[in-house]
Amino acid sequence: EVHLVESGGGLVQPGGSLRLSCAASGFTFSSHWMHWVRQAPGKGLVWVSHINTDGSSTNYADSVKGRFTISRDNAKNTLYLQMNSLRAEDTAVYYCARDLKVTNWFDPWGQGTLVTVSS
Amino acid sequence: EIVLTQSPATLSLSPGERATLSCRASQSVSWYLAWYQQKPAQAPRLLIYDASNRAAGIPARFSGSGSGTDFTLTISSLEPEDFAVYYCQQRRSWPLTFGQGTRLEI
């Protein structure tokens, strides 16, 4: 069974940094694109970032470009999101999601980790 | 950026009824549209991809249709577990975008 487990969320001050991790199991991690998607409290879904299988190609939403960095360690079956210069508007549940066969569809999703940016 | 507009914002129906949810794109996304279901305190789940293909394990009462700019998710006969929020998503171009969601309530 495919499992995605996010960790690393928490409370951080504006301007601070945080690194999220997503541990993958139950599938060949190195064969799948991966994504981060976030959801602010009570709001809708917003795609954040994408990475291809070997990490050589990445894409970002304009709202996080230059501040967030997606990466992966295929030997550890783990996806990362390094978040710098955090703002209050970055407060959200962050989900990692597997790509469905190089399609940019998200299936499945992890359970999410909450990031709160506040002083 | 492609903007997806879902309607209605809230749909109130009863179990056994038919639900029709709409998603309109600001420009053509061809058939590159998916639908997700999200229940309270849960992660979203992929229901439909490429406009009309059901994802693995999704019941046949869920169906998708449309192409270009207008898409529909239909639930033929509502089960109690179908009451949730539904989102559409496009992959025609970066950035990937979602609609704002339709809440399906009893």
Closest CA to A15 of A74, A61, A51, A67: A67
Q: Do B94 and A105 touch (CB under 8 A)?
A: no
Q: How many angstroms separate the CA atoms of B47 and B36, rounded?
A: 5
Q: What is the pLDDT of residues A11-21, one digit of tens each?
A: 999 999 999 99
Q: How many angstroms separate the CA atoms of B47 and B52, rounded?
A: 10
Q: What is the pLDDT of residues B74-98, one digit of tens each?
A: 999 999 999 999 999 999 999 999 9
Residue B16's φ and ψ, nearest 5 degrees, are: 95, -20
What pLDDT shows up at residue A101?
82
Closest CA to B62 of B40, B31, B36: B36
- A55-62: list long-range contacts, CB under 8 Å, 24+ apart: A59/B94, A59/B95, A60/B95, A61/B95, A62/B95
- Whether the CB-CB separation of B19 and B104 falls below 8 Å is answered with yes
Q: What is the pLDDT of residues A10-57, one digit of tens each?
A: 999 999 999 999 999 999 999 999 999 999 999 999 999 999 999 999
Q: Give the dihedral sign, CA A31/A45/B2/B8.
A: positive
Q: What is the pLDDT of residues A72-87, one digit of tens each?
A: 999 999 999 999 999 9
What SS3 state is found at B85?
strand
Contact residues on chain A for B99, CB-CB shorter than 8 A: 44
Contact residues on chain B for A61, CB-CB shorter than 8 A: 95
A-to-B residue pairs, Cβ atoms closer than 8 angstroms: 59
What SS3 state is found at B14?
coil
